[in-house]
Amino acid sequence: MAYAVRRVGAFLITVVLASVVVFWILAVLPGDPASIYAGTQATPGQVEALREEYGLDASVPVRYVEWVQGILTGDLGDTFVSKRSIADQISSRLSVTLPLVAFSMALAIAIAVPLGFRAALGRRKVSGTVISAVSQLGIAIPAFWAGLILVAVVAVRWQLLPGSGFTRWSDSVWGAIKSLILPAISLALVQAAILTRYVRSAVLDVMNEDYIRTAQAKGMTLRRALRRHGVRNAAIPVVTVLGLQLSALLVGAVVIENVFALPGLGKLLLDSIGNREIIMIQDIVMFLVVATLLISLAVDLIHLAIDPRLRKGAR
């Protein structure tokens, strides 16, 4: 419990420091958003009224405190262009991004774990060599390039799945799932290739441990010894990589959503950058930062659950 409390405390401190950095970086950018959106024909009085409406006339510390209060209360304000609620826009876009990331990670795990075990067990066989070579090739393929190939082949030539756009969940659940299949595969292929290499390395390390050889000396096969005694130890480094990969998926979704024209959080972020929606950019970036830190915290707590050495060290 003490270890978990320390990790949560470190998470909260990091979130506060990250919020200061995110706000400060965007606050010092050149250009006045109020002048941009008021237009070249606006009078100084109209520009000033717009700055007062969005609180841009206040000092940087005051604006930071108001921004944090808005995040904590869920009142993120409205955008300059559409005058729509920022909180509503972000929540609606998360209904696309979060399922996409979840599908991609589940698919990557389903591919990488069995292939990684197979590559480790067959390290001196043709199958293990082929899996290692293919995974090495997959690491070098950008996710957006894989997405373009899938669109050209599966969506355009074979016409099996939609290559762009998104069907809302309220309109058709199956239609929404079909819209996410190709983007999820694009993200998952690269992540699976990276994860396969780490699973293979983790299993190979466990195979060389004395307790595995002792189990084999008692009559267990290598596969059974790994299943019974090696899975938990092999999972420790893999869980760390999974946390890193999940964070990478959140960032990778920004590119993939634009390749497949998905109305997700990444598309909203790029549109906001193009429109200089500073408040929207701050909120989205802060969400991504907090999500990444939460993933890191979850990885630490999972390590505490599966590795008794950490609990012993904490005591």
Helix intervals (H) in 122-230: 126-140, 143-150, 173-207, 210-217, 222-225
Q: Which residues of 11-24 are buried (b: 16+ CB within 10 A; e: fewer)?
A: beeeeeebbeebbe
Higher pLDDT, 273 or 181: 181
pLDDT digits (tens, 9 = 90+) for 59-102: 778 888 888 888 888 878 777 766 788 888 888 888 899 999 99
In a domain, 57, yes or no: no
Total domain count, the chain: 1
In a domain, 250, yes or no: yes
Instruction: Give the up-direction half-sphere exposure of residue 123: CA atoms within 13 A in the CB hemisphere.
Output: 13
- What 8-state DSSP symbol labels residue 156? I
* pTM value surpassing 0.85: no
* Residue 107, pLDDT above cutoff 70: yes
Structure tokens at 291: 């999500």
Structural domain harbouring 243: 95-306
C-alpha closest to that of 230 among 248, 251, 211: 211
In a domain, 116, yes or no: yes
56's CB contacts (< 8 A; 6+ apart) are 32, 33, 34, 50, 63
Average pLDDT score, the chain: 82
The model's confidence at residue 40, banded by pLDDT at 50, 70 and 90, is low
In a domain, 38, yes or no: no
In a domain, 18, yes or no: no
Give mean pLDDT, residues 292-308: 81
Give mean pLDDT, residues 234-249: 81
In a domain, 160, yes or no: yes
CATH code for the domain of 250: 1.10.3720.10
In a domain, 293, yes or no: yes
User: To which residue do tokens 């497949």 refer?
Assistant: 260
C-alpha closest to that of 246 among 111, 141, 105, 116: 105
Q: How many CB atoms lie within 10 A of CB 5?
A: 9
In a domain, 219, yes or no: yes
174's CB contacts (< 8 A; 6+ apart) are none
